[in-house]
Amino acid sequence: MKDFLLVGLGGMTGSIFRYSISKFFTPTLYIFPVSTLLVNLIGCFIAGIIFKLTSNHFNDTFSNNILNFLVIGFCGGFTTFSAFSIESITLFNQGKFLLLISYIMVSGIFGILFCGLGMLIVK
């Protein structure tokens, strides 16, 4: 139950931060989606730091709590791109290059296609 609470609190916090950044970088001021790019890059950076720190420097219980709150919760609420990035680096580190390339291509292409399909269905 504690894990769910940590993920939920982290997710709420990450979502609030994402909303704050999106309000600061209003889409009408920029042609390029600056706020989305910014949160994705910041989320990936934070996830990378926390993932590496917890795997090298902390005990399992403390590491799991930090991962649940910051990586799964905060970064997940802030952006799901961070999870995609960590999974991609894990595949790279495992030497699963074909799977890595497939994951990147399928995620990008099918993500866009499914988003478009969802929009078409609602039309």
| Model confidence pLDDT, tens digit, residues 38-90 | 888 888 898 888 888 887 776 777 788 988 999 899 989 998 788 889 889 98
The whole-number pLDDT of residue 74 equals 92
The SS3 of residue 19 is helix
Question: In whole angstroms, what is the distance from residue 9 CA to residue 43 CA?
Answer: 16
Q: Which domain holds residue 15?
A: 2-122
Question: In whole angstroms, what is the distance from residue 108 CA to residue 111 CA?
Answer: 5
* pTM confidence score: 0.71
Higher pLDDT, residue 119 or 70:
70
The whole-number pLDDT of residue 54 equals 82
Domain count, the chain: 1
The whole-number pLDDT of residue 17 equals 93
The whole-number pLDDT of residue 30 equals 59
